[in-house]
């Protein structure tokens, strides 16, 4: 989605049309972070502790999904200015959302599994959720921006109030289309076992649609001469809310933190917030730092920011490519060190439903980080090439890639 708009300068005057580079740079940075977690998955390294290194490796990637959903909403707002028509934006979001859903169920499913056995299971991951949230956003964009932002804030801030109700309803309900719908909408990750095999929902739609709606409704901030000040204030507010609510061990996260034997374990418990589905405190502690990066990258220019911008300018291309590359490299790495590759051809299914397949086959955390660097290096030049193609050409279909 294009982020090329007329941007207001520091003193409020309208500058010539320019791409908001900091959005691409932040998006690229979280793409690089996200790759760590995906390399970890294919390396057979567990998601949690007890190792601090493994915990940190997993935790830092929590920033990725909130950034993707929020910036997707912001990019939709900026794209509306490019199209000049709310109805055109709604159509664009519908088509792009449907395309992302198809992509998740085809090319990306194969990237995760390296098999075509659709009777075995179907995966609904982050691209699936982004697609459906874009379709839902298409229905919201006709509302005033303040109303969209308010809807997003209510969904993100209040959805945890309904946790007891939904879990009680699901626990007592018989298998039905209604139950399956609520599992897709809210309770994730879930394995909905239908006749065609498990349908694994990693990313439920609530509250992710709220995060995307916030990004859209707050879009005018990115055109304001006071953008950096406002974003810093929002980030601080989110982080302060996290500390207060988490410290009180009350509302905002289903699992409380507990007193531990030492400060490191205490911090790990305090920061252990729920991602599936994302709790209010998860959104606060991840979206806050992400918002701080935008003013930072506004002021930074150099090789590091250009490196991240390459990936952020073509996020969908980079996402698809990195999965195929790292999956192939993971198989090669396991073969090279004499490890079993039994889990390499149905990876996500085995991780969630038959984790014993990976017993004794995990690579070391050091090897995982080396593999991460290799994957990023391999996909860098194709991503730069594709970014150059998109800058040179303006075919309509390129906006969907």
Q: Are 349 and 120 in contact (CB under 8 A)?
A: yes
Q: Which token pair is 175?
A: 């298998």
Contact 141, 86 (CB under 8 A): yes
CA distance 278 to 132: 16
Which residues are registered as beta bridge partners of 122? 199
Specify whether the CB–CB gap between 149 and 212 falls below 8 A: no
Three-state DSSP string of 177-244:
HHHHHHHHHCCCCEEEEECCEEEEECCCCCCHHHHHHHHHHCHHHHHCCCHHHHHHHHHHHHHHHHHH
The answer to whether 57 and 197 are in contact (CB under 8 A) is: no
pTM of the model: 0.90
Closest by CA position to 126, among listed 28, 31, 36: 31
Phi, psi of 188 (to 5 degrees): -135, 160
Q: Are the beta carbons of 5 and 82 closer than 8 angstroms?
A: yes
The SS3 of residue 4 is strand
* Segments making up each domain of the chain, as ranges: 4-400
Q: Rounded CA gap, 328 and 332, in Å?
A: 6
- Cβ-proximal residues to 291 (8 Å cutoff; 6+ apart), any chain: 231, 232, 234, 235, 238
CA dihedral 5, 9, 13, 14 (to 10 degrees): -10
CA distance 183 to 180: 5
Strands (E) located in 83-202: 122-124, 190-194, 197-201
In angstroms, rounded to a whole number, what is the distance separating the alpha carbons of residues 21 and 312? 9
DSSP state, residue 360: T
d(CA 24, CA 86): 23
Say if strands 122-124 and 197-201 run parallel, antiparallel, or are unpaired. Answer: parallel
Q: Which pLDDT tens digits describe the chain residue by residue (401 residues)?
A: 545 444 444 333 333 333 588 999 999 999 999 999 998 888 777 766 568 888 888 899 999 999 999 999 999 999 999 898 999 999 999 999 999 999 998 999 899 888 887 666 677 889 999 999 999 999 999 999 999 999 999 999 999 998 777 666 666 555 566 666 777 777 665 655 555 557 778 888 989 999 999 999 999 999 999 999 999 999 999 999 999 999 999 899 989 999 998 999 999 999 999 998 899 999 999 999 999 999 999 888 889 999 999 999 999 999 999 999 999 998 888 788 787 787 788 777 676 667 676 666 667 788 889 999 999 999 999 999 999 999 898 887 887 77
Which residues are registered as beta bridge partners of 123? 200
pLDDT at 199 (0 to 100): 74
DSSP letter assigned to residue 18: E
Q: What is the pLDDT of residue 2?
A: 45
Tokens, residue 65 = 């999904």
Tokens encoding 168: 């009680």
* Radius of gyration for the alpha carbons in the chain, expressed in angstroms and rounded: 21
Alpha-carbon distance values, 243 to 130, 207, 255, 268, 269 (Å): 28, 21, 15, 14, 13
The Cα–Cα gap between 226 and 348 comes to: 44
Environment class of residue 262 by beta-carbon count within 10 Å: exposed (0-12), middle (13-18) or buried (19+)?
exposed
pLDDT (0 to 100) of residue 352: 66
* Sign of the alpha-carbon dihedral angle for 285, 290, 291, 292: positive
């Amino acid at each position: 989605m294009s982020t090329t708009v007329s941007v207001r300068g520091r003193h409020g005057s309208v500058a010539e049309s320019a791409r908001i580079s900091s959005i691409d740079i932040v998006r690229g940075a979280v793409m690089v972070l996200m790759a760590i977690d995906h390399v970890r998955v294919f390396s057979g390294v567990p998601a949690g502790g007890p190792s601090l290194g493994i915990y940190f490796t997993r935790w830092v990637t929590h920033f990725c999904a909130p950034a993707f959903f929020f910036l997707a909403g912001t990019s939709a707002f900026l794209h509306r200015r490019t199209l000049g028509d709310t109805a055109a934006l709604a159509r664009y979001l519908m088509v792009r959302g449907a395309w992302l859903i198809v992509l998740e169920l085809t090319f990306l499913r194969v990237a995760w599994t390296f098999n075509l056995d659709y009777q075995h299971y179907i995966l609904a991951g982050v691209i699936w959720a982004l697609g459906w949230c874009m379709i839902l956003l298409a229905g919201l964009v006709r509302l005033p921006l303040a109303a969209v932002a308010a809807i997003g804030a209510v969904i993100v801030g209040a959805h945890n109030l309904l946790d007891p109700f939904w879990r009680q309803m699901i626990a007592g309900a018989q298998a039905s289309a209604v139950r399956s719908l609520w599992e897709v909408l809210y309770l994730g990750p879930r394995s909905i076992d239908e006749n065609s095999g498990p349908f694994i929902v990693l990313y439920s739609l609530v509250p992710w649609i709220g995060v995307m709606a916030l990004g859209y409704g707050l879009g005018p901030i990115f055109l304001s001469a006071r953008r950096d000040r406002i974003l810093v204030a929002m980030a601080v507010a989110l982080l302060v809310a996290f500390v207060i609510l988490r410290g009180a061990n009350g509302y905002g996260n289903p699992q409380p933190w507990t007193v531990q034997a030492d400060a490191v374990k205490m911090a790990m418990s305090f920061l252990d917030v729920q991602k599936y589905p994302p709790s209010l405190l998860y959104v606060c502690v991840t979206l806050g730092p992400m918002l701080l990066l935008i003013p930072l990258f506004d002021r930074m220019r150099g090789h590091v920011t250009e490196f991240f911008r390459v990936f952020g300018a073509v996020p969908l291309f980079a996402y698809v490519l990195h999965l195929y590359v790292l999956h192939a490299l993971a198989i090669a790495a396991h073969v090279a060190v004499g490890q079993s590759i039994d889990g390499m051809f149905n990876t996500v299914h085995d991780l969630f439903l038959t984790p014993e397949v990976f017993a004794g086959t995990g690579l070391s955390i050091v090897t995982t980080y080396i593999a991460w660097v290799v994957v990023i290096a391999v996909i860098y030049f194709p991503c730069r090439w594709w970014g150059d193609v998109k800058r040179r050409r303006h075919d309509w279909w390129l906006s969907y890639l």
